[in-house]
Amino acid sequence: MKLPKALQEKLRQREANNALRKLSAPNGLVDFASNDYIGFAQSKIIFDATHQYLLDQNIKTNGATGSRLLSGNHGLYQTTEDYIASLHQSESALLFNSGYDANVGFFSSVPQRSDVILYDELCHASIRDGIQMSHAKSYKFPHNDLEQLEVLLQKFQSPENEMYIVTESVFSMDGDSPNLEELVNLSEKYNGHLVIDEAHALGVFGEKGEGLLHDLAVHDKVFARIMTFGKGLGCHGAAILGSQELKSYLVNFARSFIYTTGLSPHSVATILIAYQHLVQEQKALQSLRNNIVFFNQEKLRLGIKPMFVYSKSAIQCAIIPGNERVKSIANQFQQKGFDVKPILSPTVPEGQERLRFCLHSYNSEEEISNVLELLSTFVF
């Protein structure tokens, strides 16, 4: 059966703009593309430890049979949620099947019709989709512009509504961060509820990889934290951290939690073992941090720092306007053996197309120097 004409036209338009997305298989190139920041997704230690844990606990590994409110709430959930809450120094943790499910579940259910959501214009699509499903009014503020955020806070402050301030601790397409200490001050000044997605900070910042909020010691001043495991922890799932009351509310009203099959025991055990390994594996965290410093030093040495968005995270982005140009340069990298991905419009605004370099604990300094020297050659 043919695709409807309107959908065919949308695909043709995307192809004409040189922005058609396609699935690609693993390519064996030097990895500067994945979000596996500390190598947990490829860790045999975590794989074997998960299997052994399930054997030791005599836990069957077959899949869950339904929603956690029906038959899918096996005992391993409570053990894992308690461990996560303790590590992050939170009252509670509630597991979701993915970061997307967590954000959609939170924003579609927590802010009420009379409330106001103020969100950074570059927030992830999962946050924006959840906000669209909410009955609350929502307004975006310019990226990391806390002065404009305060203007909106002043405008909408009212005893008749609640205000939710939404941002990310590390932005996925820029690698930059807001001034989180000032953001906390603003939320307290205007009695706002601060909600922060830490997807790209988990496993990167913090003494034990707990995230940037924990690293800055402001984690206890945030209403809700969304921790996604598909990046630094290298496994499926996510958790919302907050009060026990918030957890109870989400169990009762977050539709992406209620109306979905729970994660299998094997998936939940992998999350638990990955978290335990995070606490123990200080070498990988330090290697990643050293590589971030070295990458920034090499940008300066080669005179290409102005091309990059300012970032001290594992995500480093060089702005190269134009879909065709940035795709061409990415292809040149791949021909030289480096997996560097182009980020095209409309994923980012037109004129802000970029090469996205994801750094890892397992990248060598030689690989970093080589990839940046190639960038300098390809661009200039």
| Domains of the chain, earliest start first | 28-40+282-379 (3.90.1150.10), 59-280 (3.40.640.10)
Q: Say what the pLDDT of residue 72 is.
A: 80
Q: Say what the pLDDT of residue 323 is.
A: 93
Question: How far apart, in whole angstroms, are the C-alpha atoms of residue 53 and residue 278?
Answer: 16
Q: Say what the pLDDT of residue 59 is.
A: 83
Q: What is the pTM of this model?
A: 0.93
Q: 228-255 pLDDT, tens per residue?
A: 999 999 999 999 999 999 999 999 999 9
Question: How far apart, in whole angstroms, are the C-alpha atoms of residue 356 and residue 342?
Answer: 6
Q: Say what the pLDDT of residue 243 is.
A: 98
> Is residue 201 helix, strand or coil?
coil
Listing DSSP states for 208-231 in one string gives: TS--HHHHTT-GGG-SEEEEESSS
Question: How far apart, in whole angstroms, are the C-alpha atoms of residue 292 and residue 311?
Answer: 9
Q: Say what the pLDDT of residue 63 is.
A: 58
| CA neighbor of 281 nearest in space, from 32, 23, 1, 43 | 43
pLDDT along the chain (380 residues), means of 10: 92 87 81 96 95 88 75 89 98 97 98 97 96 97 98 94 97 95 97 98 96 97 98 96 98 96 93 96 94 98 96 97 95 96 92 96 98 94
Q: 330-376 pLDDT, tens per residue?
A: 999 999 999 999 999 988 999 999 999 999 999 999 999 999 999 99
- Count the neighbouring beta carbons within 10 Å of the beta carbon of residue 18: 17
Q: Cβ(269)–Cβ(50) under 8 Å?
A: yes
Q: Cβ(50)–Cβ(33) under 8 Å?
A: no
- Count the neighbouring beta carbons within 10 Å of the beta carbon of residue 147: 10
Q: Cβ(184)–Cβ(194) under 8 Å?
A: yes
Q: Say what the pLDDT of residue 357 is.
A: 98
Q: Say what the pLDDT of residue 64 is.
A: 60
Q: What is the DSSP letter of 135?
A: S
